[in-house]
Amino acid sequence: MQKRAGDSMEFIETVKTDLFSDEVYVFSPKGRIYELPQGATAVDFAYAVHTDVGNSCISCRINRRLAPLSQTLESGQTVEIITTASARPNIAWMNFVVTGKARSAIRHFVKQQQRDESVELGRRLLNQFMSNFGTSVDEVDPTRLQTLLEEMQLNSLDDLLVDIGLGNRMAYVVARRLRPRSDEDEGSKDLGPVTSDKPFAIKGTEGMVMHYARCCGPIPGDKITGHISSGRGLVIHRTDCRNIAFMKDDAEKCVYLEWSATIDEEFTVNLDLQVEPARGLIASLATTAAGAGSNVFKIDITETDSPLSTVHMDITVTSRIHLARVMRKLKSLPAVYKLTRV
């Protein structure tokens, strides 16, 4: 716990929480008793059983009834944790767990996951730029790499890739430093602007080091550009987004992207509808969207002085083609006069 604590004060607070709080006593399904601090939840219990149980828990049963993971436990309850191999800790659990073991395990897992994803994204970005020199990360001269690592005060290639993946170092600049000596001596090749014939492919599995910009909400089928943001990694915008327009030609900050053919995520899209008020309108809109294979996250209506009202909808789609199908279905409703994607 001390090694994983962010600082000494965090460690002291953890120890105080674990040692000087009132306890609750709960049972496992096999009758084993576990002692937990007052206010402990099912997630705390899962980590008390074993770190792997906590990392893979998805739900729980308290006294044989399904209950939320955030529910506070009481003495005498029997707690059963339901796990799956594909589950991962959720950083939101930090809002309700109380034991030091649970907090440190969640923080450690998220930090390690972010590092692994940063290494993978950093490798892909660096290979993207190294390909302009006809080489790759695996073919870099070890002597040049070691010199660069010492200059940047890094211990390994993975540390360098983490910095690139998080946007703390530009793959464009690193690739120039690691290019083959023949290219450097001849000066015959240069990276130039990032307008490669092979745009960086977005797979949708990049995890915590890749974010979709909320200002424009890109979805598969949109033309996209990536902005390398320090500390966050790759932020994806639609190419026509006003917030990226001023930096699109900056080779050190932007990467031209394309969607992978295998991406199967769902993406949130915001729609504005001008509608004629009618009984059951909201239900009709939700049913129509669901019938087109879209999940409705949010619907709200704003009444105005005009005969028409404005409806705001947040829906999920898989691509521009799917979005067009949903919008066509919604437009076919008699009460809908105008429909636009925000």
In tens, the pLDDT along 292-314 reads: 999 998 888 887 777 888 999 99
What span, in angstroms and rounded, lies between the C-alpha atoms of 293 and 290? 5
Would you state the pLDDT for residue 248? 64
Checking DSSP bridges between strand 210-212 and strand 224-229, what pairing results, if any? unpaired
- What order do you get walking across the sheet with 79-83 strand by strand? 65-67, 57-62, 79-83
Task: Among 2.60.120.10, 3.40.50.970, 3.90.1640.10, 3.30.70.260, name the CATH number for the domain at 267-341.
Answer: 3.30.70.260
Distance of CA 48 to the CA centre of its chain: 28
Q: Which residues contact 277 (CB under 8 A, 6 or more apart)?
A: 303, 309, 335
Would you state the pLDDT for residue 189? 45
What span, in angstroms and rounded, lies between the C-alpha atoms of 232 and 167? 7
What span, in angstroms and rounded, lies between the C-alpha atoms of 318 and 262? 11
For 46-72, write each residue's pLDDT tens digit.
Answer: 999 999 999 999 999 999 999 999 999
Mean pLDDT calculated for residue range 189-203:
52
Structure tokens at 260: 């992978």
Asked whether residue 5 carries a pLDDT value surpassing 70, the answer given is no
Query: Per-residue confidence at 188, pLDDT binned at 50, 70, 90?
Result: very low
Transcribe 215-273 into DSSP letters.
TT---BTB-EEEEEETTTEEEEEETT-HHHHTTTT-TTTEEEEEE-TT----EEEEEEE
312 neighbors 302 (Cβ within 8 angstroms) = yes
Q: Which residues contact 271 (CB under 8 A, 6 or more apart)?
A: 312, 313, 314, 315, 327, 330, 339, 340, 341, 342
Most confident range, picked from 95-99, 111-115, 184-188, 244-248: 95-99
Strand partners, 268: 316
Please give the C-alpha separations between residue 127 and each of 163, 165, 313, in angstroms, as whole numbers: 15, 12, 40
Mean pLDDT calculated for residue range 99-106:
91
Q: Report whether CATH 3.10.20.30 matches the domain 22-97.
A: yes
What span, in angstroms and rounded, lies between the C-alpha atoms of 89 and 82? 13
166 neighbors 231 (Cβ within 8 angstroms) = yes
What span, in angstroms and rounded, lies between the C-alpha atoms of 268 and 219? 8
Domains 22-97 and 267-341 share a fold: no
Q: Which residues contact 4 (CB under 8 A, 6 or more apart)?
A: 104, 107, 108
Q: Of all residues in the chain, what percent are helix, strand and coil, respectively (each to 5)?
A: 40, 25, 35
Structure tokens at 307: 């005969």
Would you state the pLDDT for residue 98? 92
Domain ranges of the chain: 22-97, 111-186, 200-259, 267-341
Mean pLDDT calculated for residue range 105-121:
86
Strand partners, 309: 275
What span, in angstroms and rounded, lies between the C-alpha atoms of 167 and 211? 12
Checking DSSP bridges between strand 254-259 and strand 200-202, what pairing results, if any? parallel
Would you state the pLDDT for residue 192? 44
Asked whether residue 195 carries a pLDDT value surpassing 50, the answer given is no
